[in-house]
Structure 1
Amino acid sequence: MKYHLAELNVGRLVAPTDDPRVKDFMDNLDLINGLGKRMPGFVWMMEGSGEPGTGNTDAKIEGDPQHVANLTVWRDVESLERFVWGTVHKKFYERREEWFEVLGEMHFVMWWVPEGHEPTLEEALEKLELRRANGDTDEAFGWDWLKEAKMHRTHACAPAA
């Protein structure tokens, strides 16, 4: 069986999506998501309402409109790394502290899914909870768990928390 790499990144915006403090972030969601979808190795993305400039922000966590998620699937680790740190996405990643609260807990997880599987937000949040509870394991992990992951070692920004 062939597997793809799923990733979930959650965050809580510092303000509602229509607030000027998150305007640059919201104004560039379509650009960044569109770029990701055109990248070699991109497989699937959890879609929001489809309304321009909203991205996945309507996928609220625990009913909180500022607690948002990004859930994607990639062919392999290298494809995801190229998107995250080898494109303009990195510029927005570097600005994350302007738009997102420091959560004080793990907010990112990856795991392997069978080819063709589109994970649900609930499934992804369960994987995040596994990583929070157990650290990196074969079932739920971060960049350091993957020996194939190389770009994050030289291109990643310092952790915010």
Structure 2
Amino acid sequence: MIQPDEYHLAELNVGRLLAPTDDPRVAEFMEALDRVNGLGKRMPGFIWMMEGSGEPGTGNTENNIGDDPQFVANLTVWEDTPSLERFVWGTIHRQFYERRQEWFELLGEMHFVMWWVPKGHKPTLSEALERLKHLRAHGPSDHAFGWNEVKEATMWRSHGCAPVAAE
């Protein structure tokens, strides 16, 4: 994977909640969204995040996919892969990632994708879903890839990414 100096890293992670966002079964996850997202926004290398309404405790869950309010997406842009990796596995985010099966359904297909965007570009959810669709259909390439294709991603390799559920 080539990372030209004029590009940033975009990532999309999708998942389907086990219950509606106001259900007690996902309450712990929903209550932590503002804290975890706020931490991400303060991390070195953070550039941009797709936002919801800004209503406390909703995070990006209003950015659902299709007509299913439980099928939610997280879309962010980072300076580079190490910046994203430090946030995912080097902060409290990791604890929520490791418990994702408590709040999310097991998805039978790829639910995470990364790609390079020109600096200043804020991808749309539609654009991101197209990248995920491309990865599912054609496998990893410069157009759409996962952690396995990023050689400098060492934390991912040591923590493992069992495909249990999206986060």
Task: Quote the residue 2:38 is aligned against.
Answer: 34
TM-score (norm 1): 0.97
CA distance in 1, matches of 2:50, 2:160: 24
Q: CA RMSD in A?
A: 1.0
What secondary structure does 1:112 align onto? Answer: strand
CA distance in 2, matches of 1:90, 1:138: 27
TM-score (norm 2): 0.94
Runs of 4+ off more than 4 Å: none
Task: Quote the residue 2:13 is aligned against.
Answer: 9
- 1:55-66 to structure 2, matched below 5 A, reads 55-66=59-70
Aligned counterpart in structure 2 of residue 95 of structure 1, from 94, 99, 114: 99
What secondary structure does 2:128 align onto? Answer: helix
- 1:36-55 to structure 2, matched below 5 A, reads 36-55=40-59
Q: Unmatched 5+ residue regions in structure 1?
A: none
Does the CA-based 8 Å contact 1:47-1:55 persist in structure 2?
A: yes
CA distance in 1, matches of 2:63, 2:108: 21
Q: Unmatched 5+ residue regions in structure 2?
A: none
Task: Quote the residue 2:77 is aligned against.
Answer: 73
| Number of residue pairs matched by the alignment | 161
CA distance in 2, matches of 1:58, 1:72: 15
